[in-house]
Amino acid sequence: MTRLAKWRLLYSVFAGLLCSEAAHAADWGLEVLMDELAQRGSGQAYFSETKHLAVLDKPIEQTGTLAFAPGRLEKFTQQPHAERMTVVGDALTVDMGPASRKRQLRLHRYPALRGFIEGLRATLTGDLDVLRRFYEIELHGSADDWELVMVPNKPEMAALVRLLSIRGGLGRITVIEVVQNSGDRSVMQITEHEP
């Protein structure tokens, strides 16, 4: 094989790979992303959260674990103090440790809280139908580095929350940011390994 023939062969293989990648990128979108997230179905991850509140001089730092499955979400804060929030179906249970009693709420009685929790739970489990019930959704970026910008479409939640931004890549969520109308915001970094 001549040198020119080798270059032509190499060029055609390279061009074919580029076309294949371009076709895959053109197919990628919101439905594909949600399918990728749904494939996990359930899981556990570590989080490090920073809450910026207008009434405080310094942000609040929290660390702990998240566990999720369809219909279930659990956030266990380990630092600065133990607190467990569990959502199963419509029931939210908050346990702030042995010194205080558990509190339980029904989410259907608190529409703003329900919309927020459903947004997190539905994104983690890839449930696009539920997301669309509560949010107007825009997807930016690529499969490797994407951002979902979700604006509440229910007045009760829109009165409190300006937007929910969820970022990630390669079928994993890495950052959840909540921006409230008051100017308060929280940024949660999510990792597979303990921070």
pLDDT at residue 16 in the model: 52
- Residue 100: what are its φ and ψ, rounded to 5°? -135, 155
With a threshold of 0.75, does the pTM exceed it? yes
Per-residue pLDDT band for 5 (boundaries 50, 70, 90) equals low
Tell me the mean pLDDT in the region 41-65: 90
Phi/psi-derived region of residue 68, left when phi > 0, alpha when psi is between -120 and 50, beta in every other case: beta
Return the pLDDT at 100: 72
Query: 95-147, pLDDT tens digit by residue?
Result: 987 777 788 989 989 888 888 888 888 888 888 999 999 999 999 999 999 99
How does pLDDT run across 63-102, given as a tens digit for each residue? 999 998 888 889 999 998 889 999 998 899 999 877 777 8
Other beta carbons within 10 angstroms of residue 137's beta carbon come to: 19
pLDDT per position as a tens digit, 9-41: 545 555 554 444 444 455 889 999 999 988 877
Listing from the earlier edge strand, what are the strands of the sheet with 72-79? 103-106, 91-95, 83-88, 72-79, 60-69, 43-52, 185-191, 172-180, 161-169, 145-152, 135-142
Binned at pLDDT 50, 70 and 90, residue 2 comes out as low
**pLDDT for residue 4:** 56
Q: Which domains does the chain have, with CATH numbers?
A: 28-191 (2.50.20.10)
pLDDT given for residue 64 in this prediction: 94
pLDDT at 114: 87
Q: Is the pLDDT of residue 194 over 90?
A: no
| pLDDT value for 134 | 92
Stretch 146-158: mean pLDDT, rounded?
Answer: 93
